[in-house]
Chains A and B, each alone.
Chain A
Amino acid sequence: MALLEVKNAGIQFGGLKAVSGFNMRLNQGELAGLIGPNGAGKTTSFNLLTGVYVPTEGEILFNGKRLNGLPPYKVTQSGISRTFQNIRLFSELSVLDNVKVAYHSLAKNSILSSIFRLPSHFSEEKNMEEKALEFLKIFNLERFKDEKAKNLPYGQQRRLEIARALAAGPKLLLLDEPAAGMNPQETHELMELIAFIREQFDLTILLIEHDMQLVMGICERIYVLDHGQLIAEGTPEEIRSHPKVIEAYLGEEVSNEHA
């Protein structure tokens, strides 16, 4: 059974169909890419998957469970976690606390146990701290743990966002342009990191990316969106030579010669 199954999903804002007829099947452990020109609806699809938008058509099944209409926090609790295109860290919180926040829904102590400082508060906090440090270690962010998130260099902020998403304990990780603004060296490190966490945490990953080297290098399967429609799907080799993809990116054949 597929981990994630999207059947004909779509969303309409007023008269505008931002995404329509979106189909996708991700199997456990797969690493897939979602590409497309600007404004194709990639981030909108992520927002559909994570509950930020409620699909106006179709169905999204995760682990056989229907996700339509679930609020984002419930989607996350059921095992889908994400990063954002424009980094959304908790900037005034320390790096460590950013990760702890994500671990929040996995902890169990009640509000009263925190207010009265019962033993369960201390044990959960300690557990949370250890787990968060583990994640920071994997991402090489330990040395920044007490720094405010907003003071981190850009590349590290991106890494922290992925660390935070992982701390929420996902089965499916959605990465929205993880390499945006990174230099080739950082992108290369990121590719290795993605491959590593996928093994380590037994993850299924779907990523949006414009950096073709990254997408072609690590994705096993690629989905191409244009104007809110899925225009192609296949292995990197298939996508590279797919006529519709070339048309979407480079225009019709005349301009192909210029390229």
Chain B
Amino acid sequence: MKKSKSFWAFLILAAVVYVVVQFFIGSGLINIYYSNLLITIAINIILAVSLHLVIGITGQFSIGHAGFLAVGAYISAIATMKLELPFILAVVIGGVIAALAGLIVGIPTLRLRGDYLAIATLGFAEIIRIALFNIDYVGGAAGMQVSHLTTWTVTFVCLVITILVITNFTNSRHGRACIAVRENEIAADAMGINTTFYKVLAFAIGSFFAGIAGGLFSHNFYIIQPGNFGFLKSFDILIFVVLGGLGSLTGSVISAILLTVISAFLAQYPETRMIIYSLVLVIVMLYRPQGLMGTREVTDLFKWKPAKGGN
């Protein structure tokens, strides 16, 4: 019963946020810069939440999430620009191909225990980037022209779907199986859980949503270049998850919002930007090594009160 209550609370909150932002954009109260920032925040949340499923829930360390972002971005850009497919369809195709890429990377590496996935994903992201540099069909290093098709509405709907799917997955027996893998893979195996299957599944779902984010990302600027999807981009996403608290979905959402806003404002001071950004990270890690939220969710904060009152 509690589950469905928080589900409706989430949908109402989402609707309110959407209506308010849409009102601001529609009435011209916020300019194009801020509406763009809002879209960037939403895309970053999708990325953070999709990686949260892989690292925070399933405990598989992936450090090449930008690779799947790149796959989604380029595939959907090809779909709209070269094949002239509708934007929404292009985004979905980007997600599906990214999920396939996730399967290709995940199936051989996730059968093993240990950090092979980290190495494989790191390599994968670099391969994708370097391959894109050398493919003239998508413009090589100069990049690819993409129409600006991403709107606030589409991005927000994608964000809501991502959060719903990942929350529903996590709060089910399948999600518990993934958490069991994170907590103790040998015990999970001994309890009848097909650990390889669930690791690959979580990884593929994560890759799918990274691909969706890629489609939104590529159509939010007028050009995409392989350089956008480098090692540092992967690390940005990783930082959202770690800073928010491994295992906390709301934590990764909050830190994605915070860090995107911070880095956007620091863009005015390019000389000191990286210094301040790193300082923020160092300070948070010193005082909250478990991340902003630890493993808790925002919804837990509301649950505590009645429990205490009952005692």
Contacts and interface: CB of A to CB of B under 8 A. Distances in A.
A136 to B, nearest CB: 16
A74 B189 CA distance: 9
A22 to B, nearest CB: 20
Contacts of B101: none
Interface of A: 50, 52, 71-73, 76-77, 81-82, 84, 88-93, 97, 100-105, 107, 109, 111, 114-117, 121, 124-125, 128, 164-165, 168
Given A72-B190, A168-B191, 9 more contacts: A76-B190, A84-B186, A90-B179, A97-B176, A101-B179, A101-B188, A104-B191, A107-B173, A115-B165
B186 A88 contact: yes
A104 B175 CA distance: 10
B179 A102 contact: no
A111 B169 contact: yes
A81 B188 CA distance: 11
A116 B7 CA distance: 12
B183 A93 contact: yes
Contacts of B168: 114-117
A125 B177 CA distance: 13
Given A73-B193, A115-B165, A125 B187 contact: no
Nearest to B166: A115
Nearest to A148: B295
A175 B34 CA distance: 61
Contact of B295 (A92, A107, A114): A92
Given A93-B180, A101-B180, A121-B172, A111 B191 contact: no
A77 B173 contact: no
Contacts of A121: 172
A197 B107 CA distance: 40
Contacts of A116: 168
Interface in B183-224: 183-184, 186-195, 201
Contact of A72 (B169, B175, B184, B189): B189
Interface string B214-255: 000000000000000000000000000000000100000000
A237 to B, nearest CB: 34
A105 B201 CA distance: 16
B273 interface: no
B204 to A, nearest CB: 11
Contact of B173 (A82, A92, A100, A168): A100
The number of chain B residues touching the other chain, given as a range, is 20 to 34
Residue picked from B173, B179, B193, B194, most chain A C-beta under 10 Å: B173
Contacts of B180: 90, 93, 101, 104
A73 B195 contact: yes
A50 B190 contact: yes
A217 B174 CA distance: 41
A73 B186 CA distance: 10
B3 to A, nearest CB: 9
B169 A115 contact: yes
A93 B179 contact: yes
A102 B192 contact: yes
Given A71-B189, A104-B193, A105-B193, A90 B184 contact: yes
A50 B262 CA distance: 52
Given A73-B193, A104-B192, A89 B184 contact: yes
A81 to B, nearest CB: 7
Nearest to B184: A88
B81 to A, nearest CB: 31
A97 B176 CA distance: 8
Contacts of A73: 189-195
B187 to A, nearest CB: 4
A101 B169 contact: no
A52 B172 contact: no
Nearest to A50: B190
Given A72-B190, A105-B193, A115-B165, A100 B184 contact: no
B101 to A, nearest CB: 20
A-B pairs with lowest CB-CB distance, top 10: A114-B172, A105-B192, A90-B183, A76-B192, A88-B187, A72-B189, A102-B191, A101-B180, A77-B192, A88-B184
